[in-house]
Amino acid sequence: MNNILKDPLTTFLFVINHWSTILIFFGILSGLAKYFLGSIHKDVKQMRMNVKRLELIRAIDHQYSLEVVCQIYDEYIRLGGNSYAEEIFEKYKKEQLNEQ
C-alpha cells in the first residue's frame, strides 16, 4: 500500500518542483506543432489550387460548356488562383460567346 501512495505523491512533487521546465517544454512542443501543421496546411492549399487549375485547363481543352468552365474557374479563384488561368478563361469565354 505504501508503494501505491508513494508513486503518485512522487509524481505530484516532481510536477510541483519542475512546473516551469514542463511549461517551457510543452510551449516549445506546441510551437513546433503549430509551425509544421501550418506548413502542411499551406502545402495542401497549394495542391488543391494546382489540381483546380489543371481541371480548368482540361475543361477548356475538351471544350466543356461555358457554364461548367465558369463554375470551375470560380472555384479556382476562390482558392486563390492567379492571372494565367484568367487569361485562358477569358479567351475561351470570348470564343464561346462569339460562337453563340
pLDDT of 2 strictly over 70? no
What integer pLDDT is reported at residue 74 of this predicted model? 93
Query: Cα separation of 25 and 32, whole Å?
Result: 11
Residue 7 burial by CB count (10 A; 0-12/13-18/19+): exposed, middle or buried?
A: exposed
pLDDT in tens, 58-73: 999 998 998 999 999 9
pLDDT mean across residues, the chain = 87
CB 58 within 8 A of CB 71: no
CB 58 within 8 A of CB 78: no
pLDDT in tens, 10-43: 888 888 888 899 899 999 999 999 988 888 988 9
